[in-house]
Structure 1
Amino acid sequence: MQITTIILAGGKSKRMGTDKALLELEGKTLLERAINLCKPLSFELLISSNNDLHARFNYPLIKDEVKNCGPIGGIYSGLKQSKTDWNLVLSVDAAFVDAPFLQFLIKNTGDFDAVIPFSEKGAEPLIALYHRSCISKMEELLENQDYRMHNLLKSVKTNWVDAQEYLNKNTRLFANLNRPEDLESSKI
Protein backbone atom coordinates (compact mmCIF):
# COMPACT_ATOMS: atom_id res chain seq x y z
CA MET A 1 0.00 0.00 0.00
CA GLN A 2 1.33 3.42 -0.93
CA ILE A 3 1.13 6.12 1.73
CA THR A 4 1.51 9.87 1.49
CA THR A 5 2.74 11.63 4.58
CA ILE A 6 1.30 15.04 5.43
CA ILE A 7 3.41 16.76 8.06
CA LEU A 8 1.38 19.44 9.82
CA ALA A 9 3.88 22.27 10.26
CA GLY A 10 1.60 25.25 9.83
CA GLY A 11 0.41 25.91 13.36
CA LYS A 12 0.61 29.39 14.79
CA SER A 13 2.91 28.27 17.64
CA LYS A 14 1.39 30.86 19.98
CA ARG A 15 2.44 29.07 23.18
CA MET A 16 5.96 28.40 21.88
CA GLY A 17 6.41 31.97 20.67
CA THR A 18 8.33 30.89 17.55
CA ASP A 19 7.91 28.49 14.63
CA LYS A 20 7.99 25.02 16.23
CA ALA A 21 8.94 23.28 12.98
CA LEU A 22 12.30 25.08 12.94
CA LEU A 23 13.21 24.43 16.58
CA GLU A 24 16.05 22.01 17.14
CA LEU A 25 16.02 18.85 19.20
CA GLU A 26 19.08 16.59 19.25
CA GLY A 27 20.71 18.55 16.42
CA LYS A 28 17.79 18.47 13.98
CA THR A 29 14.78 20.69 13.49
CA LEU A 30 11.43 19.19 14.43
CA LEU A 31 10.52 19.28 10.75
CA GLU A 32 13.69 17.36 9.79
CA ARG A 33 12.94 14.78 12.49
CA ALA A 34 9.42 14.28 11.13
CA ILE A 35 10.70 14.00 7.55
CA ASN A 36 13.39 11.47 8.52
CA LEU A 37 10.84 9.39 10.43
CA CYS A 38 8.21 9.32 7.71
CA LYS A 39 10.30 9.24 4.53
CA PRO A 40 10.95 5.45 4.58
CA LEU A 41 7.20 4.77 4.88
CA SER A 42 6.08 7.27 2.25
CA PHE A 43 5.34 7.21 -1.45
CA GLU A 44 5.35 11.02 -1.25
CA LEU A 45 5.78 13.52 1.52
CA LEU A 46 3.93 16.85 1.79
CA ILE A 47 4.48 19.69 4.25
CA SER A 48 1.30 21.45 5.30
CA SER A 49 2.42 24.99 6.04
CA ASN A 50 1.89 28.60 5.07
CA ASN A 51 5.52 29.41 5.97
CA ASP A 52 7.72 29.64 2.86
CA LEU A 53 10.80 28.90 5.02
CA HIS A 54 9.61 25.30 5.21
CA ALA A 55 10.17 24.92 1.45
CA ARG A 56 13.92 24.67 2.10
CA PHE A 57 13.45 20.99 2.97
CA ASN A 58 12.69 20.28 -0.72
CA TYR A 59 9.25 18.74 -0.28
CA PRO A 60 6.03 20.17 -1.68
CA LEU A 61 4.67 22.91 0.56
CA ILE A 62 0.87 22.76 0.77
CA LYS A 63 -0.74 26.01 1.87
CA ASP A 64 -4.14 26.00 3.55
CA GLU A 65 -7.01 26.44 1.11
CA VAL A 66 -9.20 27.49 4.04
CA LYS A 67 -7.34 29.81 6.39
CA ASN A 68 -7.48 29.99 10.18
CA CYS A 69 -9.40 26.79 10.81
CA GLY A 70 -6.76 24.74 12.60
CA PRO A 71 -5.53 21.25 11.76
CA ILE A 72 -8.59 20.23 9.75
CA GLY A 73 -7.62 22.85 7.15
CA GLY A 74 -4.09 21.50 6.79
CA ILE A 75 -5.27 17.92 6.57
CA TYR A 76 -7.96 18.85 4.04
CA SER A 77 -5.52 20.74 1.80
CA GLY A 78 -3.00 17.91 2.05
CA LEU A 79 -5.55 15.22 1.18
CA LYS A 80 -6.61 17.20 -1.88
CA GLN A 81 -2.98 17.30 -3.10
CA SER A 82 -2.17 13.69 -2.23
CA LYS A 83 -1.72 11.10 -4.98
CA THR A 84 -2.52 8.15 -2.70
CA ASP A 85 -5.72 7.01 -1.02
CA TRP A 86 -4.17 6.63 2.45
CA ASN A 87 -2.36 9.49 4.15
CA LEU A 88 -0.31 9.51 7.30
CA VAL A 89 -0.80 12.76 9.21
CA LEU A 90 1.87 13.77 11.71
CA SER A 91 1.96 16.97 13.71
CA VAL A 92 5.48 18.40 13.64
CA ASP A 93 5.48 18.92 17.41
CA ALA A 94 4.94 15.20 18.10
CA ALA A 95 8.70 14.70 18.25
CA PHE A 96 8.80 11.28 19.91
CA VAL A 97 6.61 9.22 17.60
CA ASP A 98 8.55 6.19 16.35
CA ALA A 99 8.48 4.02 13.22
CA PRO A 100 7.05 0.85 14.87
CA PHE A 101 4.05 2.87 16.02
CA LEU A 102 3.45 4.33 12.56
CA GLN A 103 3.69 0.84 11.05
CA PHE A 104 1.12 -0.34 13.61
CA LEU A 105 -1.28 2.40 12.45
CA ILE A 106 -0.76 1.51 8.79
CA LYS A 107 -1.59 -2.14 9.50
CA ASN A 108 -4.99 -1.05 10.85
CA THR A 109 -6.36 0.74 7.79
CA GLY A 110 -8.83 -1.94 6.67
CA ASP A 111 -12.18 -0.74 5.37
CA PHE A 112 -12.13 2.60 7.19
CA ASP A 113 -11.87 6.31 6.44
CA ALA A 114 -9.57 7.14 9.36
CA VAL A 115 -7.30 5.31 11.80
CA ILE A 116 -7.04 7.18 15.10
CA PRO A 117 -4.92 6.01 18.03
CA PHE A 118 -6.17 6.47 21.57
CA SER A 119 -4.90 5.75 25.06
CA GLU A 120 -6.11 6.48 28.56
CA LYS A 121 -4.96 10.09 27.87
CA GLY A 122 -7.38 10.44 24.94
CA ALA A 123 -7.37 10.35 21.14
CA GLU A 124 -4.54 11.56 18.91
CA PRO A 125 -6.11 12.73 15.62
CA LEU A 126 -2.88 14.47 14.54
CA ILE A 127 -0.83 11.25 14.62
CA ALA A 128 -3.18 9.26 12.44
CA LEU A 129 -4.16 8.02 9.01
CA TYR A 130 -6.83 9.54 6.78
CA HIS A 131 -8.26 8.21 3.54
CA ARG A 132 -9.05 10.62 0.74
CA SER A 133 -12.69 9.57 1.18
CA CYS A 134 -12.76 12.09 4.08
CA ILE A 135 -12.48 15.06 1.71
CA SER A 136 -16.21 15.49 1.05
CA LYS A 137 -17.09 15.37 4.76
CA MET A 138 -14.29 17.86 5.50
CA GLU A 139 -15.65 20.20 2.83
CA GLU A 140 -19.07 20.04 4.44
CA LEU A 141 -17.65 20.82 7.89
CA LEU A 142 -15.44 23.63 6.58
CA GLU A 143 -18.38 25.21 4.74
CA ASN A 144 -20.28 25.19 8.04
CA GLN A 145 -17.25 26.62 9.87
CA ASP A 146 -17.12 23.51 12.04
CA TYR A 147 -13.39 22.97 12.53
CA ARG A 148 -13.51 20.30 15.23
CA MET A 149 -11.65 17.11 14.36
CA HIS A 150 -13.93 15.24 16.75
CA ASN A 151 -16.94 16.05 14.57
CA LEU A 152 -15.14 14.80 11.47
CA LEU A 153 -14.22 11.53 13.19
CA LYS A 154 -17.79 11.01 14.38
CA SER A 155 -19.08 11.39 10.84
CA VAL A 156 -16.69 9.05 8.98
CA LYS A 157 -15.90 5.36 9.46
CA THR A 158 -13.15 5.61 12.07
CA ASN A 159 -11.01 2.77 13.35
CA TRP A 160 -10.17 3.73 16.94
CA VAL A 161 -7.02 1.74 17.74
CA ASP A 162 -5.79 1.22 21.28
CA ALA A 163 -2.24 2.57 21.52
CA GLN A 164 -1.72 1.99 25.24
CA GLU A 165 0.75 -0.86 24.66
CA TYR A 166 2.94 1.44 22.54
CA LEU A 167 2.61 4.26 25.05
CA ASN A 168 3.75 1.91 27.82
CA LYS A 169 6.93 1.20 25.80
CA ASN A 170 7.50 4.83 24.78
CA THR A 171 6.05 7.09 27.48
CA ARG A 172 6.77 10.21 25.41
CA LEU A 173 5.05 8.81 22.29
CA PHE A 174 2.24 11.39 22.35
CA ALA A 175 4.16 14.24 24.02
CA ASN A 176 3.70 17.55 22.20
CA LEU A 177 6.26 20.31 22.30
CA ASN A 178 3.95 23.29 22.71
CA ARG A 179 5.85 25.57 25.11
CA PRO A 180 9.53 26.47 25.59
CA GLU A 181 9.58 24.43 28.82
CA ASP A 182 8.32 21.35 26.91
CA LEU A 183 11.30 21.62 24.59
CA GLU A 184 13.75 22.15 27.45
CA SER A 185 12.44 19.23 29.49
CA SER A 186 12.61 16.95 26.42
CA LYS A 187 16.37 17.52 26.19
CA ILE A 188 16.98 15.96 29.60
Structure 2
Amino acid sequence: MNTIGVVLAGGLSRRYGSPKAFATMKGKPYYEIAYEALSTVSDVVVLVARSEFLGEFHQGLNAIVDVKEFMGCGPLAGIYSVMAHFPADRYVILPCDMPYISSDVIDSLVAAYEDDDVLAVEVEGIHHPIVAIYHHRMKDSIHYALEHGQYSVMKWLNGAAVRWVEGNELTMNAQDIFRNMNTPGEY
Protein backbone atom coordinates (compact mmCIF):
# COMPACT_ATOMS: atom_id res chain seq x y z
CA MET A 1 0.00 0.00 0.00
CA ASN A 2 1.45 3.36 -1.06
CA THR A 3 1.85 5.53 2.05
CA ILE A 4 2.69 9.22 2.41
CA GLY A 5 3.77 10.62 5.77
CA VAL A 6 2.48 14.11 6.57
CA VAL A 7 4.05 16.43 9.15
CA LEU A 8 1.75 19.36 9.89
CA ALA A 9 4.08 22.24 10.69
CA GLY A 10 2.12 25.29 9.57
CA GLY A 11 0.51 26.47 12.78
CA LEU A 12 0.85 29.99 14.13
CA SER A 13 2.20 28.80 17.52
CA ARG A 14 0.59 31.76 19.31
CA ARG A 15 0.70 30.15 22.76
CA TYR A 16 4.18 28.79 22.20
CA GLY A 17 5.61 32.17 21.26
CA SER A 18 7.75 30.92 18.38
CA PRO A 19 7.28 28.34 15.62
CA LYS A 20 6.93 24.96 17.35
CA ALA A 21 8.36 23.12 14.35
CA PHE A 22 11.79 24.57 15.22
CA ALA A 23 11.63 24.01 18.99
CA THR A 24 14.10 21.34 20.04
CA MET A 25 14.27 18.33 22.29
CA LYS A 26 17.76 17.03 22.98
CA GLY A 27 19.06 19.26 20.19
CA LYS A 28 16.67 17.92 17.52
CA PRO A 29 13.93 20.13 16.02
CA TYR A 30 10.39 18.90 16.62
CA TYR A 31 9.70 18.69 12.89
CA GLU A 32 12.67 16.32 12.49
CA ILE A 33 11.36 14.06 15.25
CA ALA A 34 7.99 13.77 13.49
CA TYR A 35 9.66 13.35 10.09
CA GLU A 36 11.85 10.51 11.36
CA ALA A 37 8.93 8.79 13.12
CA LEU A 38 7.01 8.74 9.83
CA SER A 39 9.94 7.75 7.63
CA THR A 40 9.85 4.07 8.61
CA VAL A 41 6.25 3.59 7.39
CA SER A 42 6.13 6.03 4.46
CA ASP A 43 7.29 5.97 0.86
CA VAL A 44 7.64 9.77 1.10
CA VAL A 45 7.32 12.18 4.02
CA VAL A 46 6.00 15.69 3.34
CA LEU A 47 6.13 18.72 5.65
CA VAL A 48 3.32 21.26 5.31
CA ALA A 49 4.47 24.66 6.53
CA ARG A 50 3.97 28.38 6.15
CA SER A 51 5.77 29.90 3.19
CA GLU A 52 8.03 32.11 5.32
CA PHE A 53 9.54 29.01 6.95
CA LEU A 54 10.17 26.80 3.91
CA GLY A 55 13.84 27.82 3.69
CA GLU A 56 14.47 26.94 7.33
CA PHE A 57 13.92 23.18 6.98
CA HIS A 58 16.87 20.91 6.19
CA GLN A 59 17.68 20.65 2.50
CA GLY A 60 16.30 17.58 0.76
CA LEU A 61 13.09 17.37 2.79
CA ASN A 62 9.79 17.60 0.93
CA ALA A 63 8.25 20.81 2.23
CA ILE A 64 5.14 22.43 0.75
CA VAL A 65 2.61 25.11 1.59
CA ASP A 66 -1.18 24.83 1.50
CA VAL A 67 -2.79 24.92 -1.93
CA LYS A 68 -3.60 28.53 -2.84
CA GLU A 69 -7.36 28.00 -2.56
CA PHE A 70 -7.12 27.06 1.15
CA MET A 71 -3.92 28.84 2.24
CA GLY A 72 -3.82 29.21 6.02
CA CYS A 73 -7.07 27.34 6.69
CA GLY A 74 -5.61 25.00 9.28
CA PRO A 75 -4.64 21.32 9.53
CA LEU A 76 -7.43 20.09 7.28
CA ALA A 77 -6.09 22.33 4.51
CA GLY A 78 -2.59 20.95 5.09
CA ILE A 79 -3.84 17.37 4.80
CA TYR A 80 -5.77 18.21 1.64
CA SER A 81 -2.75 19.99 0.15
CA VAL A 82 -0.57 16.90 0.53
CA MET A 83 -3.34 14.73 -0.95
CA ALA A 84 -3.57 17.12 -3.92
CA HIS A 85 0.19 17.04 -4.62
CA PHE A 86 1.16 13.50 -3.58
CA PRO A 87 -1.31 10.79 -4.65
CA ALA A 88 -1.21 7.73 -2.39
CA ASP A 89 -3.44 5.06 -0.91
CA ARG A 90 -3.16 6.42 2.62
CA TYR A 91 -1.64 9.30 4.56
CA VAL A 92 -0.11 8.89 8.01
CA ILE A 93 -0.42 12.26 9.73
CA LEU A 94 1.40 13.82 12.67
CA PRO A 95 1.53 17.32 14.08
CA CYS A 96 5.03 18.72 14.54
CA ASP A 97 4.54 19.38 18.25
CA MET A 98 4.63 15.87 19.74
CA PRO A 99 8.34 15.42 20.47
CA TYR A 100 7.90 12.16 22.39
CA ILE A 101 6.52 10.34 19.36
CA SER A 102 8.66 7.56 17.87
CA SER A 103 8.71 5.27 14.87
CA ASP A 104 7.65 2.37 17.14
CA VAL A 105 4.42 4.17 18.00
CA ILE A 106 3.76 5.01 14.35
CA ASP A 107 4.50 1.39 13.39
CA SER A 108 1.83 0.31 15.90
CA LEU A 109 -0.65 2.82 14.47
CA VAL A 110 -0.07 1.53 10.94
CA ALA A 111 -0.41 -2.07 12.16
CA ALA A 112 -3.85 -1.16 13.60
CA TYR A 113 -5.04 0.25 10.26
CA GLU A 114 -7.69 -1.84 8.48
CA ASP A 115 -8.42 0.14 5.30
CA ASP A 116 -10.43 2.56 7.44
CA ASP A 117 -11.58 5.89 6.01
CA VAL A 118 -9.86 7.46 9.01
CA LEU A 119 -8.06 5.80 11.92
CA ALA A 120 -7.26 8.34 14.64
CA VAL A 121 -5.84 8.23 18.15
CA GLU A 122 -7.60 9.00 21.38
CA VAL A 123 -6.06 8.80 24.82
CA GLU A 124 -8.42 8.31 27.72
CA GLY A 125 -11.20 10.22 25.97
CA ILE A 126 -9.02 12.97 24.51
CA HIS A 127 -9.12 12.91 20.72
CA HIS A 128 -6.04 13.49 18.58
CA PRO A 129 -7.55 13.84 15.09
CA ILE A 130 -4.25 14.70 13.45
CA VAL A 131 -2.42 11.69 14.79
CA ALA A 132 -4.10 9.52 12.27
CA ILE A 133 -4.23 7.65 9.01
CA TYR A 134 -6.51 9.07 6.32
CA HIS A 135 -7.44 7.01 3.27
CA HIS A 136 -7.17 8.77 -0.10
CA ARG A 137 -10.92 8.37 -0.65
CA MET A 138 -11.39 11.13 1.96
CA LYS A 139 -9.81 13.76 -0.30
CA ASP A 140 -13.08 14.86 -1.93
CA SER A 141 -14.87 15.04 1.41
CA ILE A 142 -12.09 17.22 2.84
CA HIS A 143 -12.19 19.45 -0.24
CA TYR A 144 -15.95 19.83 0.12
CA ALA A 145 -15.62 20.80 3.79
CA LEU A 146 -12.91 23.36 3.07
CA GLU A 147 -14.80 24.77 0.11
CA HIS A 148 -17.76 25.40 2.42
CA GLY A 149 -15.69 27.09 5.15
CA GLN A 150 -15.62 24.06 7.46
CA TYR A 151 -12.00 24.12 8.71
CA SER A 152 -12.31 22.18 11.98
CA VAL A 153 -10.85 18.68 11.74
CA MET A 154 -13.07 17.43 14.57
CA LYS A 155 -16.24 18.82 13.00
CA TRP A 156 -15.29 17.24 9.68
CA LEU A 157 -14.60 13.91 11.42
CA ASN A 158 -18.08 13.99 12.96
CA GLY A 159 -19.42 13.35 9.45
CA ALA A 160 -16.74 10.84 8.47
CA ALA A 161 -16.36 7.14 9.18
CA VAL A 162 -13.61 7.44 11.76
CA ARG A 163 -12.37 4.63 13.95
CA TRP A 164 -10.67 5.74 17.15
CA VAL A 165 -7.83 3.63 18.51
CA GLU A 166 -6.89 4.00 22.16
CA GLY A 167 -3.33 5.31 22.47
CA ASN A 168 -2.65 2.94 25.37
CA GLU A 169 -3.07 0.06 22.88
CA LEU A 170 -0.26 1.53 20.78
CA THR A 171 2.28 2.39 23.46
CA MET A 172 2.91 2.64 27.17
CA ASN A 173 2.73 6.16 28.64
CA ALA A 174 0.31 7.28 25.92
CA GLN A 175 -0.63 10.45 27.83
CA ASP A 176 2.97 11.65 27.57
CA ILE A 177 3.69 10.34 24.08
CA PHE A 178 0.61 11.99 22.51
CA ARG A 179 0.85 15.30 24.40
CA ASN A 180 1.05 18.43 22.26
CA MET A 181 3.60 20.98 23.43
CA ASN A 182 1.64 24.23 23.55
CA THR A 183 4.03 26.25 25.70
CA PRO A 184 7.83 26.06 26.09
CA GLY A 185 7.42 25.15 29.79
CA GLU A 186 5.68 21.86 28.97
CA TYR A 187 8.90 20.14 27.86
Q: Same fold (TM over 0.5)?
A: yes
Amino acid at match of 1:96: Y
Residue matched to 2:54: 52
Q: 2: CA distance between counterparts of 1:164 and 1:40?
A: 21
**Identity among equivalent pairs (%):** 25
Is 1:3 matched with 2:3? yes
Is 1:153 matched with 2:147? no
Amino acid at match of 2:42: S
Residue matched to 2:100: 96
Q: 2: CA distance between counterparts of 1:160 and 1:104?
A: 14
Matched residue count: 183
Distance 1:70 1:3, change over 3 A: same
Distance 1:138 1:171, change over 3 A: closer
**1:35: Cα distance to partner?**
1.7
Partner deviation per Cα, 1:6-31 (whole Å, 9 max, x = no partner): 10011111111111111111011111
Distance 1:150 1:170, change over 3 A: closer
Q: 2:184 aligns with which of 170, 177, 180?
A: 180
Counterparts of 1:1-40 in structure 2 under 5 Å?
Answer: 1-40=1-40
Q: 2: CA distance between counterparts of 1:54 and 1:6?
A: 18
Q: 1: CA distance between counterparts of 2:114 and 2:36?
A: 26
Q: Larger deviation: 88-97 or 151-160? A: 151-160
Q: Larger deviation: 45-54 or 168-177? A: 168-177
Runs of 4+ aligned residues of structure 1 deviating over 3 Å after TM superposition are 165-171
Distance 1:57 1:32, change over 3 A: farther
Q: 1: CA distance between counterparts of 2:120 and 2:154?
A: 11
Is 1:128 matched with 2:132? yes
Determine helix, strand or coil for the equivalent of 1:125: strand
TM-score of the superposed pair, with normalisation by structure 2 = 0.89
Determine helix, strand or coil for the equivalent of 1:41: coil
Q: 1: CA distance between counterparts of 2:59 and 2:16?
A: 22
Amino acid at match of 1:128: A
Contact 2:24 2:30 in 1 (8 A): yes
Partner deviation per Cα, 1:36-80 (whole Å, 9 max, x = no partner): 222122100101012223443422222112123211111110121
Contact 1:69 1:147 in 2 (8 A): yes
Amino acid at match of 2:48: S
TM-score of the superposed pair, with normalisation by structure 1 = 0.89
CA RMSD of aligned residues (A): 1.7
Q: Which runs of 5+ in 2 are unaligned?
A: none
Q: 1: CA distance between counterparts of 2:178 and 2:122?
A: 10
Q: 1:113 aligns with which of 113, 117, 122?
A: 117
Contact 1:117 1:123 in 2 (8 A): yes
